[in-house]
Amino acid sequence: MKSSLNIVTIILCVWLSWGRTDGAQKRESGEVSFHRIQASSLFPSPSSSCVLSPRASNTKSSLHVVHRHGPCSSLSSKKADHDEILRLDQARVKSIHSKLSKKLTARDRVSQSQSTDLPARDGITFGYGNYVVTVGIGTPKHDLSLFFDTGSDITWTQCQPCAGKCYSQKEPIFNPSSSSSYSNVSCSSPVCDSLTSQGLVKQCSASNCIYLAGYGDKSFTQGFMAKEKFTLNSDVFDSLNFGCGQNNQGLFTGIAGLLGLGRGSFSFPSQTAKTYNNIFSYCLPSSPQYTGHLTFGSAGLSNSLLKYTPVSTVKDSSSLYGLDIVGISVDDKELKIPLTVFSTPGAIIDSGTVITRLPPKAYAALRTAFKEKMSNYTAAAGLPPLDTCYDFTGVESIDVPKVSFSFKGGTVVELEPIGVLFVADRSQVCLAFIANDKDDDVAILGNVQQKTLQVVYDGPGGRLGFAPNGWIAFPMTLALNADPVVSFFDPALDILDSAERKRSQRRNFGCTDGAQREKSGEASFHRIHASSFLPSSSSSCVLSPRASSTKSSLQVVHRHGPCSSLSSEKAKTSPNHDDILRLDQTRVKSIHSKLSKKLTPQYRVSQSQSTDLEARDGSTLGSGNYIVTVGIGTPKHDLSLVFDTGSDLTWTQCEPCGKNGTSCYPKEEPIFTPSSSTSYSNVSCSSPVCDSLTSQGYYRNCSASNCIYGVGYGDSSFTVGFLAKENFTLNSNVFDNINFGCGENNQGLFNGIAGLLGLGRGTFSFPSQTSMTYNNIFSYCLPSSADYTGHLTFGSSGGLSNSVKYTPISLARDSASFYGLDIVGITVAGKELEIPLTVFSTPGAIIDSGTVITRLPPKAYAALRTAFKENMSNYTSTMGRSIFDTCYNFTGLETVEIPKVSFSFRGGTDVEVDSKGILYVLNVSQVCLAFAGNGNDDDVAIFGNVQQKTIQVVYDGAGGRVGFAPDGCM
């Protein structure tokens, strides 16, 4: 790890005087209202290296976002001038205010722009602080650097032959005649007619549609409205409407054009909505040495800290994203600002505006509170229009009061320190907010305040989301680069404020609540060896006695462990935790999507097939799945299948893998060949079995007289092939004519596995089809580690524990496949949490073998987390990761006491989670609470497989119940 990623420990005193101040008293009392930062972190790094965004590097729908003047940019290295930044930023703000006040029509703005001879200078149409992404345009692909802008809809780039005039740009100008996929839009087309309603000017040249867009700083672009192929990493989109600019003048120098991310129909998110569902997110990096990301689609939005607020309607504009600000806090104290101060003008969020603009009364209150908290620092001259500045010359560390914004819906967003201050140089560091000129000018949340946050634009949901530490967290992303002077934090640094320092020192060896409970004899904690958190160095495998001795029982193995028959080294290495959690969240989103009726089966398949997917380790519905070996065909062909209680249809890859033999993903075992089996037969397209596919949630089609099935999953994986009948063998039990999918076209994240064994409640599931023998009953135990096998047992004669306690299966809304549960309570360390029953009953819950981490309603998770943290207060906390926000560092410890966690289900059934099911171990220095909160109150709760480890879980379909017993793997 580079030195720039090292943890920074701040030990120097901030204050210039040794007097007693309000801030000092707060720090001693443990209150957290200040960021303590090193003064040196405010200023540009001398490094010329570039650190790439992990998300943008690893996600095909994600782009790197760079600032054009930073080391990550391929464009000009001209340094930023602060006066120019602020002047051009003010020009953007005036443009927005003018647009919303109806002072200028679209034609007025263009004609005014064209009447002025504009110098070609560095800058941008809407301000200096915009960020750049690289997008491929045309066939063959021509990579171009475009500003991305949430305040604009139309995407455009300069085009040869520049019939009017083109400004200077770094990359070669796009030449439409060299692209085989380019076409002009007809002047008589509906697309051309809609230009005017989208705030643009429509003209015609012969039969071709001409667009004109003019901006508030008198910049403009004019050219052909056209259709072209756009490429984002490996995602390709045909026939997107864009502007092919033949006459472009103003402050765009160096950049090829603009990527419009507004709310209108011409915007890139709107035109790619069938793939990305009109959802995108970004994180602006803290400094120019880093790229951020711009990510399309919902994959990776797994942060449990992500909070949403509704998108409000912006007066006189359908393109801008409105927000309802309801309050501002400084030093954890809400300012006394009447709500009408914000509601009268309204507010928007904008990626192109640099500095946040506030209503005059709101800014005055913010400035007064900020100055009071910064009274120990030397004031400096203002940097117009910034009027509250400080001289930090000679200061080693600084306490910056925390600033947070409250939005409608209870969402509170705390700004990072880099979102509070704008740095000109060491002697001039300013409060990074500006007052609007008028009370009725719209407020604007600018990009300085958005740095390091994950900002999510959810078009279908009509909401905006915010989460901290967005630089680190998520996939489906584009990479950004920050302003080299304005940005001053390394997002990978652990900048410790006073409370975090206190937490890191908190663990002591005195009497604690947990120790007292232990002395009193209460058994509310697990005491375990810290070494058990580390992966076993053994390569041996311990088999399940039950699976070894019961003919209706199968060995259950984790695909990455020594018990797996998958032979490649890649499959046997420890799984990547980020992949596990990312794919687990994908499964959860797939479940939530299915239960919320967001996607039809046909849409899921068609959407999946339209994407070229990479084959990586993992599975369609999560990387933490378990494997059993089943015999298929005559003679028997043993295949490794993931078993899944959330799916019905069993399927495996089949030769010849499509017409060209290339439509199957790689796997370790030989692919099943139907022609070599004497018991194989295709299902007729006219049969009732084929007709029932649609009612079971699958896609149905026909090829000649053969029935074709299709299954699409939430991560864009899919399987398509013949619905067929075949012999299945479990140890010595043979079942004839089992309906299954013989997959001829299978793509996605299944690598290494032959297919899937469906254990859901539907008629296609394996338990349903073998119910004459096993009475629709099965059970399993997931082993505590990959060094052991568990068991999957069919029927009731395989040794169901006498201690099994049952709870009724409830109906999972909108799905006949999932096994519903009624959670009625959660207990931590022997104390039942105060959670209203409606918190669980409103969304409902399911149990799922494929989801790794249990997902809880937000209020239930918050209660669980609070109780757990109280009982773990003697251990050193550490940073969270992905969906985990409660983690600990157990380095150097021999034993650890973990509070017991148990779930109560309807019917009086209490299930104590094994100690292995409470914590998720990334490494010994990062051991996390193995639960996560759902994004919404009405998202179904999911009891995941980490929490099921070592428990015997019984699915009694005939009795309509699910049972649990401890020590189920013995």
Which residues does the annotation mark as catalytic? 644, 848
| CA gap 131, 530 in Å, rounded | 45
Backbone angles phi, psi at 112, to 5 degrees: -65, -40
- CA-nearest of 487, 441, 445, 480 to 464 is 445
Task: Return the structure tokens found at 186.
Answer: 């007809």
- C-alpha dihedral (311, 313, 315, 321), degrees to nearest 10: 30
Task: Return the structure tokens found at 595.
Answer: 């239960």
3-state DSSP call for residue 83? Answer: helix
The DSSP-derived string for 545-598 is HHHHH-TTEEEEEETTSTT----SHHHHSPPPHHHHHHHHHHHHHHHHHHHTT-
| CA gap 204, 3 in Å, rounded | 58
**Residue at token pair 């999911």:** 942
Query: Vertex 74, ends 71 and 77: CA angle to 5°?
Result: 55
| CA gap 720, 400 in Å, rounded | 57
- Asked if 10 and 482 count as a contact pair (C-beta separation under 8 A), the reply is no
| CA gap 284, 455 in Å, rounded | 9
3-state DSSP call for residue 542? Answer: strand
| CA gap 307, 294 in Å, rounded | 19
What residues contact 57, with CB distance under 8 A and at least 6 apart?
A: 64, 479
| CA gap 492, 58 in Å, rounded | 18
Other C-beta atoms closer than 10 Å to the C-beta of 811 total 11
| CA gap 268, 262 in Å, rounded | 8
**Residue at token pair 């006949």:** 816
| CA gap 796, 673 in Å, rounded | 34
**Helix boundaries (H) for 382-527:** 447-450, 470-473, 498-505, 513-519
| CA gap 101, 95 in Å, rounded | 10
Peptide bond into 635 cis (omega under 30): yes
CB-count exposure of residue 598 (10 Å: 0-12, 13-18, 19+)? middle
Backbone angles phi, psi at 53, to 5 degrees: -65, 125
What sign does the dihedral 456-457-458-463 (CA atoms) show?
Answer: positive
Task: Return the structure tokens found at 160.
Answer: 């040869």
CA 444 remoteness from chain centre: 25
Task: Return the structure tokens found at 137.
Answer: 């345009």
- Asked if 113 and 218 count as a contact pair (C-beta separation under 8 A), the reply is yes
Instruction: List, in sequence order, every beta strand (DSSP E) within 696-761.
Output: 699-703, 706-712, 718-730, 733-747, 755-758
**Residue at token pair 């391929």:** 74
Q: Beta strand pairing status for 433-435 and 356-358?
A: parallel
